[in-house]
């Protein structure tokens, strides 16, 4: 039975490439001592790394000693091959950088409604940077309920979404974006609109008709609604705002979204020091997704605006 020698570099690692770069510098400098200044490391460290490379390749690459530095026949061949490899790596890097400078394609993004009034504007800034880097990128935004955003990312119709964080779904990755505070509001015309907060005890609030969201929220936030008399529902925050503005319901809205109506005297927050909750907004992408330069560029810009 014949035996086959194992391929010493069946998988080329970053460490192997680093050793080959050092080997190239040693050869082009004419020896270990001369390579010290070029590499910024001592002769003993260079010698050790050359020994590591020879061991990994299973070849003697050079002669070193009193007679001076010289390459073996195998060393000359490895040097020529390393030049080809390192040149190919540099070409690859240049081409990929060129792709990043000339982004093309689509970004399909699903957003929970009414994020545009957030003071941070991180999504807006990230989209602006994406268009600056890739003027030909086509951006498609869908304003849909959080569960539809997650489903769209799962089935591939959306590249990325932004939703309130709830329990994680299998197959999706979540990254924190920012937090959002919601307060309990009523509108002008509601019986509680002019009632002082000191007179608003729990029993009085729990007797008011309230809107419950049908989208997923963390269990600790759902408890806020369970303590109220929910007689209506809405699939998104805009639907909740419509019902609150009728003056017939109370309900929770993000403070940034409600602020304009508060300034206009149309909404007021009820007991804002105690009746509030904070929810984390997160980006959601599919696990194991294929590389997508437009998406990665958008996520990179989003992370840079933190």
| Cross-strand bridge partners of residue 138 | 106
How does pLDDT run across 34-49, given as a tens digit for each residue?
888 878 888 888 888 8
What whole-number percentage of the chain has pLDDT above 70?
A: 92
| 75 shares its domain with 112 | no
| 192 shares its domain with 271 | yes
| 116 shares its domain with 70 | no
Domain end (from 33, 62, 79): 79
Q: Is residue 84 part of a domain?
A: no
Closest CA to 160 of 101, 109, 212: 109
Quote the CA–CA distance of 283 and 273 in Å, as a whole number. 29
How does pLDDT run across 20-31, given as a tens digit for each residue?
888 888 888 888
pLDDT at 1: 42
Domain count, the chain: 2
The CATH number given to whatever domain includes residue 240 is 3.40.190.290
pLDDT at 250: 96
Examine the pLDDT at 95 and tell me if it is beyond 70: no
- Please give the C-alpha separations between residue 92 and each of 23, 85, 96, in angstroms, as whole numbers: 21, 11, 6
**Per-residue confidence at 120, pLDDT binned at 50, 70, 90?**
confident
Question: Quick one: residue 280, left, alpha or beta (phi over 0 = left, psi -120 to 50 = alpha)?
Answer: beta
Q: Is residue 101 part of a domain?
A: no
Read off the DSSP letter of residue 208.
S
pLDDT at 166: 81
| 153 shares its domain with 232 | yes
Print the domain residue range for 69: 14-79
């Amino acid at each position: 039975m014949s035996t086959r020698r194992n391929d010493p570099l069946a998988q080329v690692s970053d460490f192997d490439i680093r050793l080959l770069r050092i080997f190239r510098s040693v050869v082009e400098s004419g020896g270990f001592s001369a390579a010290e200044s070029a590499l910024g490391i001592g002769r003993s460290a260079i010698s050790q790394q050359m020994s590591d490379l020879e061991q990994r390749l299973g070849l003697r690459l050079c002669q070193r000693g009193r007679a001076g530095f010289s390459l073996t026949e195998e060393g000359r061949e490895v040097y020529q091959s390393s030049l080809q490899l390192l040149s190919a790596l540099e070409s690859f890097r240049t081409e990929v950088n060129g792709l990043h400078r000339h982004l093309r394609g689509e970004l399909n993004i699903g957003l929970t409604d009414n994020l545009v009034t957030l003071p941070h504007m991180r999504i807006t800034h990230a989209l602006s940077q994406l268009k600056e880097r890739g003027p030909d990128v086509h951006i498609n935004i869908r304003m849909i309920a959080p569960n539809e955003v997650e489903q769209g990312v799962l089935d591939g119709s959306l590249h990325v979404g932004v939703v309130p964080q709830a329990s994680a779904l299998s197959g999706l990755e979540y990254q924190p974006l920012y937090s959002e505070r919601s307060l309990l509001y009523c509108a002008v015309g509601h019986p509680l609109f002019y009632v002082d907060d000191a007179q608003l005890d729990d029993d009085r609030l729990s007797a008011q008709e309230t809107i419950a969201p049908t989208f997923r929220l963390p269990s600790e936030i759902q408890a806020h609604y369970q303590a109220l008399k929910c007689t209506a529902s809405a699939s998104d925050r805009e639907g909740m705002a419509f019902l609150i503005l009728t003056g017939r319901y109370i309900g929770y809205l993000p403070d940034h979204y409600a602020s304009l109506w508060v300034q206009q005297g149309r909404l007021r927050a009820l007991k804002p020091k105690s009746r509030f909750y904070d929810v984390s907004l997160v980006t959601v992408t599919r696990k194991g997704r294929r590389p997508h330069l437009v998406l990665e560029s958008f996520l990179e810009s989003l992370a840079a605006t933190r």
